[in-house]
């Protein structure tokens, strides 16, 4: 059986779910009217899933890892922006804590994905 594709990756599914959640929570009220922060937080969230997908579709593990690190950087941006949104009153505490927990788990998953792909590079060098 061949390669399944990025949509079958749990890490990609979780990243996509976070992006959908961010779109939902940033669309209403005062948050929805703060076009700068709203658009930036949405771009960061979408970037995570997009870079995971692009990385998974690359031809080499080295290329893939570069995109996975970009996804991790976008995740750090998202965490920063959600904290700012919470501190200025755009996000209620339970919503902020839910997003924060999802982001922490996603960060661990991306880190594991990077380690697996780095291991694949190392294994090829020992064959």
pLDDT in tens, 88-105: 999 999 999 999 999 999
pLDDT beneath 50: ranges in the chain: 1-2, 125-127
pLDDT at 59: 87
pLDDT at 122: 66
Q: For residues 68 and 49, is the Cβ–Cβ distance under 8 A?
A: no
pLDDT at 127: 34
pLDDT at 5: 86
Residue ranges of the domains in the chain?
A: 20-121
**CATH architecture designation of domain 20-121:** Up-down Bundle (1.20)
């Amino acid at each position: 059986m061949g390669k399944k594709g990025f949509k079958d990756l749990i890490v990609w599914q979780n990243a996509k779910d976070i992006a959908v959640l961010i779109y939902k929570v940033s669309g209403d009220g005062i948050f929805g009217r703060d076009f700068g922060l709203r658009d930036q937080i949405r771009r960061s969230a979408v970037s995570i899933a997009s870079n995971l997908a692009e990385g998974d579709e690359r031809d080499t593990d080295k290329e893939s890892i570069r995109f996975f690190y970009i996804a991790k950087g976008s995740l750090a941006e998202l965490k920063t922006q959600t904290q700012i949104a919470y501190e200025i009153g755009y996000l209620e505490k339970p919503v902020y804590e839910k997003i924060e927990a999802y982001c922490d788990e996603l960060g661990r998953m991306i880190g594991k994905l990077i380690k697996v792909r780095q291991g694949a590079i190392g294994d090829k060098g020992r064959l």
